[in-house]
Copies of this chain bind each other. A is one copy, B any other.
Amino acid sequence: MTLLLGVDNGGTRVKLLLAREMEGRLEHVRTADAPTPRGPSAMDELAALTRTFLADDRADAFGLTVAGILDEASGLVATSANMRWLEGLAPARELSDRLGIPGEAVQDGVATAIAEAVLGAGRGADDVFVLALGTGIAGAHVVDGSVRKGAHGGAGEIGHIATGGGEKCTCGQSGCLESLLGGTRLGARWDRARGVDAQSTALDVVLAAERGDGTARAILDEATTALANGLLSLMAMIDPGVIVIGGGLSNSPAWIIDPAIEKAHRRATFHAVPPIIRAQLGSWAGAWGAVLTAAHSRSGERRLERTELV
């Protein structure tokens, strides 16, 4: 039996998850979360939090998520917009030195994607594409428990397929999926269509659509058509075995995911439409991904089963 610790060091909360691994099966032991330690003493505070959480248990390895750009070979954080104090550090080595436990860092999006693919909605499939619909739109193709990162670490950017359409995207291109469906863009588009400056959120648009607001419904209709096109393009280019959709916008399935899936089915021609499933691990996906990273760092194993949910 092995005890594996997942540390999901997020922008506002740090989530701790202890799991037991036996014969390829993971079992949840306990969880805790706390405000994310910030600033120059953050690694000391994170180590203290972790020691308290572990108490008398001795973890065999940990995985630690990094919200930023991580150089996998060196373990160094190149940039982190929300955690500047991590830049230039190797956070897994810092935590390992303080705890006396071996560990490995993993980019937060990668952790979430491998967790959903291996333990969540994609479990049992070898070939899973995970989309995260949030403020931005991210994607990761997970095959046999590993993310396919591409030749320069840039693969999976399904939010930025170029259509050359009219809507300017934050990435500088025009007509990206994210420019129509990104969380902040939905609110801004609705405000613009109504000629108001209300800083509406995506949730505001969904609630207005539920109340019968025609403008909100038209904006969501355009966004779900764009998402359907993105899903069809994904099938054409990568042909995944399962598609998993998570992120904040996946919490309004009746207005975003369900219509997009319905349109994708209706408009599919030559495509093999795979199962398209909502993400299942919620806000604990990153911590489970950190546990999988810990397991892999110990034994090279990327494919574990999970016996129970958190």
Contact = CB atoms under 8 A, between A and B. Distances in A.
A22 interface: no
A161 B225 contact: no
B164 A229 contact: yes
Contacts of A175: 163
Contacts of A161: 161, 233, 236-237
A300 interface: no
Interface in A225-249: 225-226, 228-229, 232-242
A151 B127 contact: yes
Given A267-B162, A269-B173, A272-B151, A238 B238 contact: yes
A142 to B, nearest CB: 12
Contacts of A150: 127, 238-240, 272
Query: What range describes how many residues of A lie at the interface?
Result: 35 or more
Given A161-B161, A237-B238, A274 B155 contact: no
A109 to B, nearest CB: 15
B236 A162 contact: yes
Contacts of A126: 151
A3 B175 CA distance: 52
Contacts of A165: 163, 165
Interface of A: 126-127, 139, 149-158, 160-165, 171-173, 175, 225-226, 228-229, 232-242, 267, 269-272, 274
Contacts of A154: 235-236, 239, 270-272
Nearest to A159: B236
A232 B271 CA distance: 22
Contacts of A152: 239, 241, 272, 274
A232 B226 CA distance: 17
A237 B155 contact: yes
Contacts of A236: 154, 157-158, 160-162
Contacts of A232: 162, 173
A165 B229 CA distance: 10
A151 B274 contact: yes
B233 A269 contact: no
Contact of A233 (B156, B162, B228): B162
